[in-house]
Structure 1
């Protein structure tokens, strides 16, 4: 079914776009997964836009920005009991000309979701597989091949957003009616989901999780190696500086 106007508005928080693209830089997500030349050009574009030191840094910034897709899909899953249709051949990445530092929006053509109409545990596995195994796993594999960046950095870029949004949602009083489902879904994502749902041998969300409010990263996202970039508050480099300083 098509997303309602209210649902579209809610997803705009995670950079969902329902407008018609008016930029030449729009690209299908599928091109990043299946066209090596286009992926290399896109990484070069990000590198130029963000003043990244090298392609590996640009790859990390790319995944950090695209990681908003995960909260978008998980919001629909946990709060509405709906699974966004996330076919990479239907996801457009649009960048605007509002002066932001390369921040894409996600346009689904068409913007559709499927209501859970089967046993929820099986349905939830499919929803998780759709976003992580079908989108992020192949993208991370392609970026590793192209730039030699450690996939651990890229997976933690995704994981940190997942931890953060669930913490926020569970603190949101307006979401109290679905708090039990939020807690159950988060527990599943961290402790119960099999690695295959992420296209991996092991669950990458479990690997980096450090407990409630434990946002301290294990890897550096490399933002410090972009123009004007600094160490994030959760950066392990900053933590080591505090320990030695």
Structure 2
């Protein structure tokens, strides 16, 4: 069981500044559904539209053109990397740093773009939050993770893998590296000991105890790609760690180099 809570104005400001997650500005469904290629100043589409093969294919084709990607597969890979950062990571951050749970099913997430950027941020159609009941944080956390992964990231990854013929392991690793970075770097560096303690507990649970069903998978995808970090001398844009800090060599390639203006590889790329 969980109780009702609220994300404060300062917490919303931090979630937007750090990750690009925004609260709704009107009632659910009030933001228009328009494509990423239109000329409006603010463009939006419910993330749940990606679960429809026709709408998902149309979105992916527009994104492929926008990124000048050589294939739907490459575009799908870049989308999952970005979506995990703006949709999944801030929900996990709120869960651990604020001890508050946001409603993050696919139907609650609105993908917003501008003419200059293809996914600037996510706006939640339902900005209410829950908090764990006394002694009930484990069950509360399970429900949050199930909504985020089994009812959001997992179905979107499954559909993109199907319509883009993209390997599911690659797409899941794109999401997993965002989670690793959040807990191993940002939350581990918190000045609040209570936050660091919750971070250690939540991360250990997600890696080693959470069943595959919480992700909509037979196996836990976070554990599947987890491994030791190795020193990194530099980092390509949109990758995993600042210069000089340990990074984890990926097991799959995300094909970032195929959309990079200078054909640049991520430091964590297994092809290097």
Aligned match of 1:108: 124
Runs of 4+, deviation exceeding 6 Å: none
Write the mapping of 1:34-73 to structure 2, written as runs, cut at 5 A.
35-68=52-85, 69-73=87-91
The Cα offsets for residues 58-82 of structure 1, whole Å up to 9 and x where unpaired, read as: 1111111101112111111111111
Write the mapping of 1:110-189 to structure 2, written as runs, cut at 5 A.
110-117=126-133, 119-189=136-206
Q: CA deviation at 1:19?
A: 6.8
Aligned match of 2:228: 211
Q: Is the 8 A contact 2:22 2:121 kept in 1?
A: yes
Distance 1:173 1:162 in 2: 16
C-alpha RMSD of the superposition? 1.8
- Residue 235 (1) aligns with residue 251 (2): no
Distance 1:137 1:173 in 2: 29
Q: Is the 8 A contact 1:133 1:196 kept in 2?
A: yes
- Paired positions, count: 235
Structure 1 counterpart SS, 2:22:
coil
Q: CA deviation at 1:225?
A: 1.4
Higher strand share: 2
The Cα offsets for residues 165-213 of structure 1, whole Å up to 9 and x where unpaired, read as: 1112344242333211110110111111100000000000000001354
Higher helix share: 1
- What TM-score, normalized by structure 1, do the two folds share? 0.89
The Cα offsets for residues 83-103 of structure 1, whole Å up to 9 and x where unpaired, read as: 111132221110123x34x23
Q: CA deviation at 1:116?
A: 1.0
Distance 1:167 1:52 in 2: 31
Q: Is the 8 A contact 2:187 2:199 kept in 1?
A: yes
Unaligned runs of 5+ in 1: 239-245
Q: CA deviation at 1:227?
A: 4.9
Aligned match of 1:96: 114
Unaligned runs of 5+ in 2: 26-30, 32-39, 230-245
Change (3 A) 1:19 1:82: closer
Distance 2:181 2:224 in 1: 16
Distance 1:46 1:237 in 2: 25
Aligned match of 2:13: 9
The Cα offsets for residues 111-169 of structure 1, whole Å up to 9 and x where unpaired, read as: 12111125111111111111111111111111111111100000000000000111123
Q: Is the 8 A contact 2:84 2:175 kept in 1?
A: yes
